[in-house]
């Protein structure tokens, strides 16, 4: 799973692309690393408890911290929090995943994975992956509120391009379809669980940096 991604678009353009309200989000574009705030898009029901209201709340784009604080008494958790959801049946995540209001879209333009070491100098190489069919794409995410407003990315099996670089997992990338975004944000878990599949290698571009 990535330890770094980029969103090279300003807040207003991102919100418009995904049909959300940007409000006064100051995002101007750039890198996102663990423990940093980044724009995420929710179904707009963060403050609503109880039965689902009639009609749909407008989508909201709000800043959240990448990295969810771990459960209590977990002593070996990374200091930046939990970045990805690998076990969709984990008791720590399942309640948030089953309740659609806790799902979110995480906009990005590319993400970084460490590749295999160079055969010449043995150094690990950075590979940046983007989608050829959507310049700005949505990664499937889930959010939690504890000490801080945070989010994590859903993981799935790596596609062939990432497996060639020794990776076992990749972020779940949603299709460039407003219907798919709406389904992830509003659909029942029995329908959306099947969306956690690898994105086609034929629809991805990879470039080496560093």
- 58, containing H or E segment: none
What's residue 47's pLDDT? Answer: 54
Assign 116 a pLDDT band (cuts: 50, 70, 90).
Answer: confident
The overall average pLDDT reported for the chain is: 91
Whether residue 14 contacts residue 28, with contact meaning beta carbons closer than 8 Å, is answered with: no
pTM, 2 dp: 0.92
State the DSSP code for 66: E
Q: Which CATH number do you get for residue 44?
A: 3.90.1680.10
pLDDT in tens, 169-198: 999 999 999 999 999 999 999 999 999 999
Distance of CA 189 to the CA centre of its chain: 17
pLDDT in tens, 125-158: 899 999 999 999 999 999 998 778 999 999 999 9
Q: How many residues does the chain have?
A: 210
User: Which tokens sit at 12?
Assistant: 């207003």
Reported as half-sphere exposure (CB side, CA atoms, 13 A), residue 7 has a value of 25
What's residue 49's pLDDT? Answer: 47
Which residue in 143, 174, 139 sits closest to 81, CA to CA? 143
203 CB neighbour count, 10 Å cutoff: 17
pLDDT in tens, 46-77: 655 445 555 567 899 999 999 999 887 666 66
- Using CA atoms, how far residue 88 sits from 96, 100, 108, 189, in Å, is 10, 14, 22, 11
State the DSSP code for 52: P
Range(s) of the domain holding residue 105 = 4-48+57-209
Biggest CA pair distance of the chain: 61
Assign 203 a pLDDT band (cuts: 50, 70, 90).
Answer: very high
Place of tokens 């497996």: 163
How far apart, in whole angstroms, are the C-alpha atoms of residue 37 and residue 46?
Answer: 17
Q: How many domains does one find in the chain?
A: 1
């Amino acid at each position: 799973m990535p330890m770094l991604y980029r969103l090279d678009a300003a807040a207003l353009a991102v919100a418009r692309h995904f049909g959300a309200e940007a409000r006064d989000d100051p995002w101007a574009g750039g890198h996102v690393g663990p423990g940093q705030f980044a724009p995420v898009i929710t179904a707009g029901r963060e403050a609503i408890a109880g039965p689902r209201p009639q009609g749909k709340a407008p989508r909201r784009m709000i800043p959240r911290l990448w990295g969810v604080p771990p459960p209590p008494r977990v002593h070996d958790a990374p200091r930046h929090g939990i970045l990805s959801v690998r076990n969709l049946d984990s008791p720590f995540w399942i309640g948030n995943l089953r309740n659609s209001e806790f799902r979110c879209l995480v906009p990005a333009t590319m993400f970084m994975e460490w590749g295999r070491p160079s055969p010449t100098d043995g150094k690990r190489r950075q590979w940046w992956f983007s989608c050829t069919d959507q310049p700005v794409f949505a990664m499937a995410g889930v959010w939690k509120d504890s000490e801080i407003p945070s989010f994590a990315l859903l993981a799935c099996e790596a596609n062939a391009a990432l497996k060639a670089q020794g990776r076992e997992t990749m972020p779940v990338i949603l299709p460039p379809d407003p219907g798919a975004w709406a389904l992830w944000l509003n659909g029942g878990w029995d329908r959306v669980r099947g969306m956690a599949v690898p994105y086609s290698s034929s629809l991805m571009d990879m470039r080496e940096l560093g």
